[in-house]
Amino acid sequence: MKQGAGGSAVQGAAGTSGSTGGDGLERCDRPLGAMAVVEPQDYVMASLSRYSLGSPTSIIRMMIQQSNCFIVVERGMGMQNMMQERALMESGELRGGSNYGGGQMVAADFVLTPNIVFSDNDAGGVGGAIGGLFGRAGRVVGAVAGGLKFKEAQTSMLVADARSGVQVAAAEGSARKADLSLGGVLFGGGAVGGLGGYGSTDEGKVIAASLVDNFNNVVGVIRNDPNLVRDVGSLADEAAAGGSTVAGAVFSAGDVLRPKINGVKLMASPSDGGAELAALKKTDELVFLGEEADGFVRIESGHGGGWVKKVLVTD
C-alpha cells in the first residue's frame, strides 16, 4: 500500500469552495444527496483504542466532503451544540437578528453505518477475523508474545434511506499491509492525533485505505441508480441558505399557530418597544396573516390583531 509523506489515504481539506487531497476518491460534479454518518458506540471506541485509533467517522466525513458526492449533515456530537444555540435563542439570551429557529436545517437523505474487521497473518482472510470492531463480538483476541501480525482491514458500509428506513446500498472495501506488527500498540493508550491515529499509524493508514475503497464502491452504487439520487443544491448553496433563510420561515398565510409558552406578548407593532395589546396563552389560536418584520409575524386572534415574536409561536 503506497502512502503519502506521513499521511494516510485520506489527506487534504474540504470546504464550500472546493477540496484538496483525496486523489484516490471518486469525484462527483454535484452532490447525490445529504448524508449523516453514524457515530460508533462506547464499546466500539474501547476496541479501537487498543490500536491507538479513535472513531473513523472523522475521516469518513472528510472523504465524503472531498468527493463532493454527498453533503455531510451534522448528526453527531456537534448536534448537541446546535440545539443548545436554538435553546438560547428561544430563551431570549441571543442578540436580536441571530436568525436561529425552525426551517433552516438540511434534511439527511441517507444514513451511513460503517463496519471494520481485521484479519491476522495466519487466518488466511477475513474468515479468521481477529476482531469485528463494530459488533458486540468485537474483541481483540489472539494477542501473543512477540506482537500481533496485522494483515488486512476489510470494511463495509451500509446506507439507509433516512425517510423510509430502507437499506438502499451496501458495499465493501479492503486494504492489506503484510506482517505489520502492532507490538505494544495493542495494549497502548487512547486515540492520538486530529484523526485519531488514522494518519499517523500504519494500522490507521491501512484502515483509511480500506474506507476509501469502500466509499468509492458506495458512490458507484448510488450514482448508477437514478432512483437513489436526491435533489439537493451544491455545498456552497446549502451552506449559504443556512445564513440567508429566515428562521422559522415555514408558515404560510392562513396557517393556524399557537404560542409555545404562556404569556407571549401580542404587540401593536413589530417591536419590543411597542404597545402591548394582550398576553397570550398556549391554548390561544392565532391566524398568520402572511406578514413578517424584524423577527415578528402579524396574526389575528381572539384578542384582536397584532404582532408576536416568530420564535415564540409554532404551527
Q: Taking the model in full, what pTM does it have?
A: 0.62
Report the relative pairing of strands 276-280 and 304-309 from DSSP bridges. unpaired
Q: What is the pLDDT of residue 125?
A: 38
Query: Ramachandran region of residue 101, left (φ > 0), alpha (ψ -120 to 50) or beta?
Result: left
Grid cell at residue 248: 422559522
Cα gap 80→265, rounded to integer Å: 29
Domain with CATH 2.30.30.40 in the chain: 256-314
> pLDDT 10s digit of each residue in the chain, 315 long?
443 333 444 444 444 444 444 468 999 999 999 999 998 767 667 767 777 888 899 999 999 999 999 999 999 888 989 899 888 888 888 887 777 777 778 899 999 999 887 665 544 433 333 344 434 433 333 333 233 335 678 889 999 999 999 999 999 998 886 433 322 222 233 333 445 578 777 778 888 889 999 999 999 999 999 999 998 888 887 776 666 556 655 677 888 998 988 999 999 999 888 899 999 999 999 999 988 888 889 999 999 999 999 888 887
- The pLDDT value given to residue 242: 61
Q: What local confidence, expressed as pLDDT, does residue 15 receive?
A: 44
Residue 241 confidence (pLDDT): 62
CA distance 161 to 140: 32
Res 46: pLDDT:
72
Q: Which CATH class is domain 256-314?
A: mainly beta
Residue with cell 491501512: 206
> What pLDDT does residue 250 have?
65
pLDDT confidence of residue 12: 43
Q: Which SS3 state, helix, strand or coil, does residue 240 take?
A: helix
What is the pLDDT, as a whole number, of residue 89? 81
Q: What is the structure's pLDDT at 157? A: 94
- Is-contact 314 258, C-beta < 8 A? yes
Model pLDDT, residue 66: 93
What pLDDT does 177 receive? 65
